């Protein structure tokens, strides 16, 4: 983005994936970059059109769930830009899991039967459904790795009051159910996801992105049961394939480990997988668009003028 500040800009935060601009009238300009992260580490190569994919899916899903709870989004002036309300965030991520995958499976496979204070049933295989979706929160670390945390510790540490937790839990499960319904219409299973919430006054708002490949995992519904019976790998759409590639190349974000080289072919593969997920989830053809920094700036400035 060009160095000229946006109208009313107070400061800037550069996250792992997004650049956030704080505007004086309690607005945020959030630009989804093409950066990609895994294991809380920003990988060295950007992924073409990833920011556009994330922003467009998030905007679509925020609109599709706006009847469940208030959300932060006000406008999307460019395909990789969102403008919305500035909230005071809860320093936790609400991770909802419908199936035993990813971090939960790695914990289970290692013998763990309690995750974030929740007892996991015996006899599950990788990718099996839980009897009902579970919430396994994590702390949202400003630096380093996020950590698992139980509901009881969230309340005890003052990260959320008991009253707020009840609302967060209700919203997260309802959003997950809606996400599963949207996915099912497209022949997909929403496997797990994370939500972030904040407050303006006493009102809790849904923040950030939802149901994107960076925050969620999807399986193809067709053939799911057959693959489970045969204990075959599930066909999925998510960022997990990037994590798996990193693990295969001896990288999990631990001290002393080096990010493996990403070839041009591999970067193109990742980009195509993100675009595939967009088209599968939204059900529309993806139209890649690249704007100059100047054009993006002008669109954002015009939107801020309207919102003010």
DSSP of 234-252: PPEEETHHHHHHHHHTT-S
Contacts 24+ apart (CB under 8 A), 301-304: 301/6, 301/7, 302/77, 303/75, 303/77, 303/83, 304/6, 304/7, 304/8, 304/23, 304/27, 304/29, 304/83
Q: Can you identify the CATH homologous superfamily of domain 89-241?
A: ATP-grasp fold, B domain (3.30.470.20)
At residue 129, the pLDDT reads 98
For tokens 């003028």, the residue is 305
At residue 1, the pLDDT reads 63
| Closest CA relative to residue 193, chosen from 263, 119, 281 | 281
Question: Please, what is the angle between helix 264-282 and helix 240-248, to 10°?
Answer: 150
At residue 144, the pLDDT reads 55
For tokens 């914990």, the residue is 107
Please provide residue 2's backbone torsions phi and psi, each rounded to the nearest 5 degrees. Answer: -60, 155
Is 28 within 8 Å of 11 (Cβ atoms)?
Answer: no
101 exposed, middle or buried (CB, 10 Å; 0-12, 13-18, 19+)?
A: buried
Tell me how crowded residue 71 is: count the other CB atoms within 10 A of its CB: 23
Strand partners of residue 220: 188
At residue 186, the pLDDT reads 95
pTM of the full predicted structure? 0.91
Q: pLDDT truncated to tens, each residue of the chain (308 aa)?
A: 667 899 999 999 998 899 999 999 899 999 999 999 998 899 999 999 999 999 999 999 999 999 999 999 999 999 999 999 999 999 999 999 999 998 999 999 999 999 999 999 999 999 999 999 999 999 986 555 679 999 999 999 999 999 999 999 999 999 999 999 999 999 999 999 999 999 999 999 999 999 998 899 999 999 999 999 999 999 988 888 898 999 999 999 998 999 999 999 999 999 999 998 899 999 999 999 988 999 999 999 999 999 98
For tokens 């009897």, the residue is 131
Report residue 62 CA to chain centroid gap. 12
| Residue 80 DSSP class | T
User: DSSP string covering 96-121, please?
Assistant: EEEES-HHHHHHHHTT--EETTEEPP
């Amino acid at each position: 983005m060009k160095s000229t500040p946006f109208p009313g800009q107070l400061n800037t935060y550069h996250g792992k994936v997004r650049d956030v601009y704080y505007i004086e009238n309690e607005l945020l300009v959030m630009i989804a970059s093409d950066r990609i992260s895994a294991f809380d580490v920003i990988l060295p190569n950007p992924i073409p059109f990833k920011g556009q994919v994330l922003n467009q899916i998030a905007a679509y899903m925020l609109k599709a769930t706006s009847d469940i709870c208030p959300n932060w989004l006000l406008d999307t002036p460019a395909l990789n830009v969102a403008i919305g309300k500035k909230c005071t965030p809860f320093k936790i991520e609400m991770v909802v899991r419908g199936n035993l995958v990813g971090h939960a499976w790695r914990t289970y496979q290692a013998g763990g039967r309690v995750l974030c204070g929740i007892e996991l049933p015996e006899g599950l295989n990788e990718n099996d459904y839980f009897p009902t979706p579970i919430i396994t929160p994590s702390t949202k670390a400003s630096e380093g790795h996020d950590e698992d945390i139980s509901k009881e510790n969230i309340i005890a540490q003052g990260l959320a009051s008991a009253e707020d937790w009840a609302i967060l839990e209700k919203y997260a499960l309802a959003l997950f159910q809606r996400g599963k319904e949207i996915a099912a219409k497209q022949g997909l299973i929403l496997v797990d996801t994370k939500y972030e919430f904040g407050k303006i006054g006493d009102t809790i708002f849904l923040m950030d992105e939802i149901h994107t490949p960076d925050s969620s995992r999807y399986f193809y519904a067709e053939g799911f049961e057959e693959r489970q019976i045969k204990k075959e790998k599930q066909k999925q759409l998510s960022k997990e394939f990037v994590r798996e590639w990193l693990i295969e190349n001896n990288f999990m974000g631990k001290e002393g480990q080096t990010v493996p080289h990403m070839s041009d072919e591999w970067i193109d593969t990742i980009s195509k997988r993100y675009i595939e997920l967009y088209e599968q989830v939204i059900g529309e053809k993806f139209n890649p668009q690249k704007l100059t920094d100047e054009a993006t700036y002008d669109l954002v400035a015009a939107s801020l003028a309207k919102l003010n």
